[in-house]
Amino acid sequence: MGRLHTPHGTIDLPTFMPVGTCGTVKGLTFDQVAAAGAQIVLGNTYHLALRPGPELVAQLGGLHQFIGWNKPILTDSGGFQIFSLAQMTKITEAQAVFRSHIDGSQLELSPERAVRIQEQLGSDIAMVLDHVIGLPATYAAVEEAMERSTRWAARCQRAHQRSDQIQFAIVQGGLDPGLRRRSAEQLVSLEFPGYAIGGLSVGEEPAAMYETIAATCPCLPVDRPRYLMGVGTPRDLLEGVLRGIDMFDCVMPTRNGRNASAFTDSGQLKIRNSCYRDDPRPVQADVETPQSHLSRAYLRHLFMAGEMLGPILLSLHNVAYYQRLMRQAREAIAADSFLEFYNRRLAGWGAGDSRDDSD
């Protein structure tokens, strides 16, 4: 177990970062996010550059002040949008050129521009701009994107000026262990304060992702944070911790919550299912939120009635569940019993809830 110190507070590792892409964790106030146990949240350069714009955020005191969150913030550079918005993106050695998903206007995002935007936002941790491609892809395409990511990382490092903001590099290389090791070695030689593993959870099987993490982590310094980007399920988090990952982010807790799916130690509950119509139990008794005592029957009622409170409450539960999982992982590491904890959780998720049959 480690700790990461930032100007806005210390983060206990391993940790999970709720995703606040546009300056909000969907459906939740930041007071709720903090009460759920989150120590750090994530924002996104591409989305915040489009609206409201980094100049406005800087004018209003920076992202912490703008969104009302006084704990650490990590900002993603926009590299994931190179993958997710590939149909509207052109890549050159100089930069990525996007067509806005909002109005079709053009956004030019070079490594230097990505750094400048994140400095205007004032995040505690800024990510370098990387070239993310979908999988499967040819070896040549993966290698080209990996090498470009290394060159862009060096440009980001040269452009970075804020002394109160640290910068993480991003290892690329698809599912090829040799490319991942080469990428890691190149980036480690540049001596960044932290390193991320990017370009996963983009179409590959979970087993392939776990193998790639296992091949990459030993190439990264043990005294620097290791961040697995955009991942994932509760099992993915524990598989990552087992292999040496310190930090995670994913939209899954809130996305699933909005769609009536709750994470528990017995797997996911599909709260719209009729088996919960008269179920008096809470979603999970020891996941604490101000509304954690409410019954599954009531939560189902909210979704069936189309009430917005249902998605809010399940989103809050899921964020709290992920934070509880990371807290338990830290405690198990401190007690030298992580493997026992890992096996116990996997057994529970595999067993499932016998009442949660599909309608």
Q: Which residues are catalytic, by number?
A: 76, 249
The number of angstroms, rounded, from the C-alpha of 237 to the middle of its chain's C-alpha atoms is 10
> What are the residue ranges of helices labelled H in the chain?
30-35, 45-50, 54-59, 63-67, 79-84, 111-121, 139-159, 177-188, 206-216, 234-242, 252-258, 296-304, 309-334, 338-351
Q: What three-state secondary structure class fits 164? A: coil
The Cα–Cα gap between 92 and 355 comes to 53
Q: What three-state secondary structure class fits 236? A: helix
The Cα–Cα gap between 326 and 37 comes to 10
Instruction: Name residues whose C-beta falls within 8 Å of residue 109's C-beta, 6 or more positions apart in sequence.
Output: 45, 46, 49, 78, 95, 96, 97, 98, 129
The Cα–Cα gap between 209 and 216 comes to 11
> Tokens representing 156?
């980001």
DSSP codes of every residue in 321-341: HHHHHHHHHHHHHHTT-HHHH
> Tokens representing 51?
């609206």
The Cα–Cα gap between 246 and 244 comes to 7
